[in-house]
Amino acid sequence: MIKKVTDTLAVPDQAGIRSKMTRSARLVVESKNIRPPVSFMQIMDLAQEVISHGNYDPQFLEFAMVLCGNETWRQVVASTPYNRRLLLLPQCLKDENNCQAAIDQLGLICAGCQSCSIDEILVQAESLGYATLVAEGTTVAMQLVQEGSVDAIIGVTCMSVLRKSFPTVYQAAVPVIGIPLLFEGCANTDVDRHWIMREIKHYQPSREYLPISLSMIKNEVRAWFNNETLSTIFSGNGNRTNQMAIDTMLHGGGRMRPILTTLAYNAYEALPSEQLAKNLAVIVECFHKASLIHDDIEDQDDYRYDRETLHLTHGMASAINTGDYLIGKGYQLLSSLPLPANRLQQSFRLISEGHISLSVGQGDDILSVTQNEIMVLETLLETYRLKTGSAIKVALLLGAVTAGAPPEEIAILEQFSDEMGIAYQIRDDIHEFREEREERKFSDYPVMLSLLYERADTLQRDQFVFLKGNGMWQEIHLMMDKNQIPEAADELLQVYVANSYRLLDQLDNFRMRLSLYALMGKIF
């Protein structure tokens, strides 16, 4: 029994053995009904099974891991159109003595001198529509995926680079087929060209496995929020309140909620309508921007997105009224969507329940601040669930409900929203705590205070309350370091991140699951 990864990064010399091991990996992965992304430990378990059942040399364990990883992604990459794929080749394939290529900041620019295999491979890939890159490492390739330029990668590199890149690829949920060089080295290496040609030509379209580009959706959603589009959708006949609402909608934010709505709608809808997706995105942003206007008033904040808040520029009464107008506009737009009655009813119930949960959570938060309370951790996390979890839930579920997602998928997404919402808020608290700045407010990182209060003994609690009451944050930070509160917050964050991933693994809709994996990787 093989118990651990060896330091040997060997690739079988014989093409027959490589092909036989590939078939073995395919059978093992198919027998497990595994869907990517798959963790390092899972891949290692699969590879050990391949080595054991096929009686292969244990020195090929890491090669078997590459093959098993490939098989988990095979259907996704095969479903990706050629023009949405990237072929990544290493510069070390070039002939050091005869290469005439130039090199720029992105990598090697092949001169077509045919002194090595690079030109032949590039010509074949580019004729199919591939984006191609001849560079060392995977950094640029990952950037192209995150920018939305490509959706899948076929990467040729040495075994050591494949090993190093695994955590990044897993976290970002990037569909990838890895083809290792036949031996380690930084010059005049070689690769199985027939293997590369088979992989780059393989195309088997399937909507079930066709990845949704998170970056493309992000760009599309952001493009919707312009004055012309919003003026058409709002159609408020030019009244000043309507214009203030549009102005609020136009400015600031990452549009995460409308992105989530659009993502879920596209994942579950067989024939998505761009106009319906656009209206859903605007509806969700109406409710979000209304909550921010009211938030800024309740928290007495003067700036939002690096500009003065609405209550500062137009007065408290106008700001409250604009927030109310946006809520009404959101419900008005929702009522006019061309949806079956049951889906429309579900949507109204979803948003109204989310509105209530958000208000309850915000109310608890306001009272704890105004009364200078320290929430016990359980109560604080419930507040996070009500506030942030509800906002994520409304965004995700509105897209899923309007697309007719199955009830069991809706239930999983509900739980996921709760866990992700709590994780998102804990992450923000940790960032606020660690950020160096002159002005500090204890309300910026309540989870740290709750953890300290929970861990402190009676004497420390009395001291803690005294220090907090006198705004002595430097002394409190020393107490936090002494009680290892930053480490405890990191551990708590990991619990909720792990819970989120566990729930994603239960989703049947592969496209939804993969997209949310990618989103989680970017956020956490």
Question: Is the pLDDT reported for residue 447 higher than 70?
Answer: yes
Is residue 83 within 8 A of residue 129, CB to CB? The reply is yes
> Residue 389, Cα to own-chain centre: how many angstroms?
16
Provide the percentage of residues in the chain whose pLDDT is more than 90: 61
Rounded Cα gap, residues 81 and 130, in angstroms: 9
Question: Is the pLDDT reported for residue 445 higher than 90?
Answer: no
Residue by residue, DSSP assigns 441-503 as -GGG-HHHHHHHHHHS-HHHHHHHHHHHHTT-HHHHHHHHHHTTHHHHHHHHHHHHHHHHHHH
pLDDT, greater one: 361 or 100: 361
Rounded Cα gap, residues 362 and 231, in angstroms: 31
Report the pLDDT value the prediction gives residue 1, as an integer from 0 to 100: 43
Question: Is the pLDDT reported for residue 139 higher than 60?
Answer: yes
Provide the percentage of residues in the chain whose pLDDT is more than 70: 91
Question: Is the pLDDT reported for residue 61 higher than 50?
Answer: yes
Report the pLDDT value the prediction gives residue 422, as an integer from 0 to 100: 97
pTM: 0.88
Report the pLDDT value the prediction gives residue 3, as an integer from 0 to 100: 46
User: How far, CA to CA in Å, does 14 sit from each of 22, 53, 89, 198, 466?
Assistant: 13, 19, 22, 17, 73
**What integer best gives the mean pLDDT of the chain?**
88
Rounded Cα gap, residues 378 and 387, in angstroms: 14
Is residue 178 within 8 A of residue 72, CB to CB? The reply is no
**Which residues make Cβ contacts (< 8 Å) with residue 157, sequence separation at least 6?**
88, 90, 138, 165, 178, 180, 181
Residue 280's pLDDT band (boundaries 50, 70, 90)?
very high
Question: Is the pLDDT reported for residue 55 higher than 70?
Answer: yes
Report the pLDDT value the prediction gives residue 116, as an integer from 0 to 100: 62
Report the pLDDT value the prediction gives residue 2, as an integer from 0 to 100: 45
Is residue 38 within 8 A of residue 56, CB to CB? The reply is no
Which tens digit of pLDDT belongs to each residue from 209-234? 998 988 889 999 999 999 999 999 98
Query: What are the structure tokens assigned to 119, written together?
Result: 């030109």
306-315, 364-373, 431-440: which range is least confident on average? 431-440
- Mean pLDDT, rounded, for 197-220: 92
